[in-house]
Structure 1
Amino acid sequence: MPSKAERLAPVIDMAERAERESAKRLGQGQTLLTQAQEKLADLDRYYSDYQQQWMTEGSQGVSGQWLMNYQRFLSQLETAIGQQQRNVAWHRDNLAKLRQDWQQRHARLEGLRKLVERHLQEARVAADKREQKMLDEFCQRLAGRSRPH
């Protein structure tokens, strides 16, 4: 009959797989958040560069058409930055959920490993007691045989 620890082996395997998959999703979530933050930083730099261009061009005088195009483009850029900020926030929230999922799966796996270790320790103690009992019985039989009758 398999021991308690042996019966838990498939459960441990499943928990390890689930923890690895969760860690993988956590890593992917971190990558996506980093990419979203980089894209937002790029948009912010582009916005700053465009404003600097306005300062340069505007000081030399611009046409009404150029000004309208500039304002339209700046508005579109502000919209894109707002959307990207929401995208970053979503990825940040998602990463927090992925981290929590991984922590739960990791804690479950560690709990199962401790349970298996406890079962193994109990089995070792029980085996040691059986061995000691057998040795005691063997010594008693030997002592009984060596007494003169």
Structure 2
Amino acid sequence: MSNVLQILIEQASEKADNLARGMANTQQKLVQGQDKLNMLQTYRDECEGGMHNKASTGMTGQQLRNQLAFVGKIAQAIEQQSREIEFLNTTLAHQRTQWQEALAEQRKFEALVEREKLKQAKLENKRDQKMNDEFAARIYRVHTAGEPS
């Protein structure tokens, strides 16, 4: 039984490790996505600032429309990136739950192994105690049988 439990522990450990690697990968993508979002927001702010500066110094209607369309495209990219980050956050939360469940399963199997070890140790101690009691009884019998009455 212990070998089976050891195999189950190894499988649960491998599963937890794989899930942890998946979480790390998702976390890395999340950081990269957040960096990209920050870059897009900064770029949009710079474009809007530049547009206001150009508008104050003189800008044709066509240039203004083009600039507004460009800023609109950046806003769409920001929205799409925000949805990607939301998706990654949801994915990470789900992966974290799966990882915690895998660790709990591994701990459950480890607890079973530990209980089995304790059970075996108690049985061994009981056998040792029984042998010691029998040995002491024999010595007592031999000792009392050898004494003159």
Shift of 1:6: 3.6
| Aligned residue in 1 for 2:98 | 101
Unpaired segments of 5 or more residues in structure 2? Answer: none
Shift of 1:110: 1.2
| Aligned residue in 1 for 2:107 | 110
TM-score for the superposition, normalised by structure 2:
0.93
Shift of 1:94: 0.5
| Aligned residue in 1 for 2:25 | 28
| Aligned residue in 2 for 1:124 | 121
Supply the AA of the counterpart residue of 1:79.
Answer: Q
Residue 90 in structure 1 maps to residue 102 in structure 2: no
Shift of 1:20: 0.7
| Aligned residue in 2 for 1:51 | 48
Shift of 1:74: 1.1
Shift of 1:116: 1.1
Give distance in 1, aligned partners of 2:70 and 2:88.
Answer: 27
Residue 138 in structure 1 maps to residue 135 in structure 2: yes
SS class of match (1:78): helix
Give distance in 2, aligned partners of 1:96 and 1:36.
Answer: 16
| Aligned residue in 2 for 1:64 | 61
SS class of match (2:59): coil
Shift of 1:115: 1.4
> CA deviation digits over 1:41-85, x for unaligned, max 9?
111111111111012111101022211210110111111111111
Supply the AA of the counterpart residue of 2:39.
Answer: D
In structure 2, do the counterparts of structure 1 residues 11 and 93 end up closer, same or farther at CA, with 3 Å as the change threshold?
same
Supply the AA of the counterpart residue of 1:11.
Answer: L
Supply the AA of the counterpart residue of 1:43.
Answer: L
TM-score for the superposition, normalised by structure 1:
0.93
Report the number of matched residues.
146
